[in-house]
Amino acid sequence: MSFALRTRHSVLPGFGLALGFTVLYLSLIVLIPLSAAFIRTAGMSWEAFWRTVTAPRVLASFELSFGAAFIAALINAFFGLIVAWVLVRYRFAGKKLIDALVDLPFALPTAVAGIALTAVYSSKGWIGQYLEPNGVKVAFTPLGVVVALTFIGLPFVVRTVQPVLADLGRELEEAASVLGATRRQTFVRVILPAILPALITGFALAFARGVGEYGSVIFIAGNMPMKSEIAPLLIVTKLEQYDYAGATAIAVVMLVASFLLLFALNLLQWWARRRGGQDS
C-alpha cells in the first residue's frame, strides 16, 4: 500500500521543485506588481485616497468601465452561446472560416480593432452612416465602448462553451425528446445545466477582459470626461501628469472591485456545478 501511494505521488517528477518555481514565477509576474500598487497607495492618507477615488470624474469612469464591461459580457454570453451551438451542432459551407474568425479578436492588435470599429461606426462609416440619421450614434459615445468590448470579449465565451457542447452529444437531447420533452424543456432542463458553469466562466473572462481593456476603446469612445472616459485611460492620464499615487489609487479600486466580482462569479459557477451534479 505504501509503495502504491509513493508511486502515485511521484507521477510528476520534481514536484517540489516545480511547485517552488511556479510560486516564484507567479510572485514575480503577478503578486509583486500588484502588491506594489497597494504599497504605493498606502503612502496616501485615507482622506486623500477617498478624495481621489470619489471624485466625480473618477466615479463616472468607474461606472462606464464596469457597466460597459458587464453589458458587453451579457451580450457575449447570449450570442456567444448561439455561435458555439451553430459551430458544434451544424455542418455547413464555410464553417472552418467562421470558426477561425471567432479567434480574430485574439490575434488582432487592440489599436487596429479600435481604429476599424471607429471607421465602421462613425457618422461616415459603412454602418454608422445609416444609424446616425435614425438617432443611433455609436462612435464617440458610451455605446461605442460597449461595441468595442463586445468585439474583444466574444471569443472568451465561444471557446469556453464550445468544447462543453461538443462533449455533451445529442444522445441526451434525443432521450429527452423520446420522453416527451419539448425543445424548451430540453434546453432548460438538459442542456443549460450542463453548459451553465462554462457559460459563467466565459462571461467572467469576457467581463474581466472588458474592465481593463484600453487599446480598442480609446479610439471609438471619444474620451470625453464624465461621458465616455474609461478608468484605464484616466489612470494613464494621471501617470502622464506624474500623479502616481492617484493612478495607483484608481488601479487599486479597480483591482479590488474586479476581484470581488470575479469571486462572486466563481461562487456562482461552483453553485451551478454542484446543482448540476445533484440533478444528474
Model pLDDT, residue 5: 46
Q: What is the value of pTM for the model shown?
A: 0.84
Chain-centroid distance, C-alpha 269: 15
Nearest one of 135, 147, 167 to 105, comparing CA atoms: 147
What is the per-residue pLDDT for 279? 59
Q: Residue 255: how many CB atoms within 10 A of its CB?
A: 16
Spatial distance between the Cα atoms of 246 and 44, rounded to a whole number of angstroms? 9
Q: Whole-angstrom Cα distance, residue 183 to residue 195?
A: 16
Kindly state the average pLDDT of the residues 72-98. Answer: 92
- Rounded alpha-carbon distances, angstroms, from residue 271 to 6, 56, 202, 260, 275: 34, 37, 16, 17, 6
pLDDT at 2: 47
> For residues 208 and 258, what is the distance between their CA atoms, to the nearest angstrom?
7
The larger pLDDT score, comparing residue 227 to residue 36, is at 227
What CATH architecture does domain 45-279 belong to? Answer: Orthogonal Bundle (1.10)
Cα distances (Å, whole numbers) of residue 129 to 13, 132, 210:
62, 6, 26
Q: Which of 115-124, 184-193, 216-225, 267-276 has the lowest mean pLDDT?
A: 267-276
Q: What is the pLDDT of residue 24?
A: 87
What is the C-alpha separation between 125 and 8, in angstroms, rounded? 62
For the chain, give the mean pLDDT: 85
The closest of 71, 34, 197, 208 to 145, measured between CA atoms, is: 71
- Quote the pLDDT of residue 280: 55
Grid coordinates standing for 140?
464617440
- What does the pLDDT look like over 28-73, one tens digit per residue? 888 888 787 788 787 788 898 899 999 999 999 999 999 999 999 9
- State the Cα–Cα distance between residues 169 and 165, nearest whole angstrom: 7
**Domains of the chain: which residue ranges?**
10-42, 45-279
109-132 burial: b if 16+ Cβ within 10 Å, else e: ebeebbebbbbbbbeebebbeebb
Burial 219-228 (b: 16+ CB within 10 A, else e): bbbbbeeeeb
Q: pLDDT of 103-150, one tens digit each?
A: 988 888 888 889 999 999 988 889 988 998 888 999 999 999 999 999
Reported residue count of the chain is 280
Contact (Cβ atoms closer than 8 angstroms) between residue 164 and residue 229: no
Helices 56-89 and 244-279: crossing angle, nearest 10°? 40
pLDDT digit string, tens, across residues 153-172: 999 999 999 999 888 877 77
**Nearest 10 degrees: Cα torsion 127, 100, 266, 186:** 90
